[in-house]
Structure 1
Amino acid sequence: MKKLITALIFGAISMNVYAADAANGEALAKKYNCASCHGADFKSPIDPSYPKLAGQHADYLNHALTAYQRGGKAFGRNNPIMGGMAAPLSDKDKADIAAYLASLPSNLTSHR
């Protein structure tokens, strides 16, 4: 029983769990000028190849930002522009930005 409790405690400590702050995410999205490529409403990108971010799942957005930080390494996304934009973000910053973007109204749909 002691081993189980110890494992649970260390597991909880080692996890990067943050209470996401959408208001801070909005400020960070403005600071890093995300709208310059993804559109002022984050669902009207300036180029059709750029993703629509508004209403996207927060965990997906957080994972994507982490993958851009990794770059061409294992499980990374190799995009020099987004790699440079994501590089200075902390885990908390990524969670906050993801929470903000996920909270925005969207026209994204799932196939049924």
Structure 2
Amino acid sequence: MKKLIAAASLCVASFSVQAAITVPKYDVNAGKQIAETVCAACHGLTGESIVPAQPNLGGQNVKYLYKQLVNFKAGYRKNGIMQSQVANLSQQDLANVAGYYASQQPWGVGYGNPATSQEASKLFLGGDKKRGVIACAGCHGPDAKGNIFAAFPRLGGQHSEYISTQLKLFRAAGRDDDISSDDQKRVNDAAKEGEKGMMQTVASRLSDRDIRILSEYISAVH
């Protein structure tokens, strides 16, 4: 419990930033129409991707989805495909799509790796004090369902390949590379100016093996 409290304290600094995200009133049916033509090829019409490199979106936190779409459009999160896909969408369109996918049934569960699940579980739930690794559960919850209020995403059952890639990008500061802005509230990994973002800080202490076993474990959490 003490480890979870300590991990949760790291999240507090970004709560005010994340909680301030306001999603415009959205139209699920309008979002579905956009998803059919723009998003479904990669993420599936119901938000369950058949490509491990592309994230599942169905049932995800609407604040998180909206924030990511806004950040892609603004360039605070960089991905050539995503930036081109949202380039012609309005803020209302982004809200509609986020609302649509959030309204879908959560995705299924992966299989994980039994050989490393116990070790990964300890890291996910309790971190590693000796190495300064913060527990993932402090922000994403012990059941990996995320935090709706703080816009922290649901992770449980997500593709392990996708999770691994994102952790490595955070570790390399690639999720918001070359970002310098006075408006830190809009940076994808929220932080004070001149400091590492929360996820960059956490990921910087993870080894390749940590990332692998955590990704496999998270993909099987339900």
- Return the alpha-carbon distance in structure 2 between the equivalents of residues 17 and 106 of structure 1: 20
2:47 aligned with 1:42, yes or no? yes
Aligned position for 2:156: none
Q: State percent identity of aligned pairs.
A: 35
Note if contact 2:59-2:104 (Cα within 8 Å) is conserved in structure 1: yes
Look up the equivalent residue of 1:61 and give its one-letter code: L
> Structure 1 residue 82: deviation in Å?
0.3
Partner of 2:83, secondary structure, is helix
Aligned position for 2:70: 66
Partner of 1:63, secondary structure, is helix
Partner of 2:53, secondary structure, is coil
> Relative contact order: is structure 1 or structure 2 higher (C-alpha 8 Å, sep ≥ 6)?
1
Look up the equivalent residue of 1:51 and give its one-letter code: P
- Return the alpha-carbon distance in structure 1 between the equivalents of residues 108 and 64 of structure 2: 14
Look up the equivalent residue of 2:97 and give its one-letter code: I
Stretches (4+) displaced over 2 A = 107-112
Aligned position for 1:23: 29
Aligned residues: 92
Aligned position for 1:92: 92
- Return the alpha-carbon distance in structure 2 between the equivalents of residues 22 and 102 of structure 1: 9
Aligned position for 1:5: none
Partner of 1:20, secondary structure, is coil
Aligned position for 2:107: 107
- Return the alpha-carbon distance in structure 1 between the equivalents of residues 61 and 37 of structure 2: 22
**Counterparts in 2 of 1:48 and 1:111: CA distance versus 1, 3 Å:** farther
Note if contact 2:32-2:100 (Cα within 8 Å) is conserved in structure 1: yes
Aligned position for 1:82: 82
2:59 aligned with 1:55, yes or no? yes
Tell me, which stretches of 5 or more residues in structure 2 are unaligned? 1-21, 110-140, 144-222
- Return the alpha-carbon distance in structure 2 between the equivalents of residues 108 and 62 of structure 1: 22
> Structure 1 residue 17: deviation in Å?
6.1
Note if contact 2:36-2:45 (Cα within 8 Å) is conserved in structure 1: no
Note if contact 1:56-1:108 (Cα within 8 Å) is conserved in structure 2: no
Cα RMSD, aligned residues only: 2.2
Partner of 1:37, secondary structure, is helix
- Return the alpha-carbon distance in structure 2 between the equivalents of residues 30 and 36 of structure 1: 8
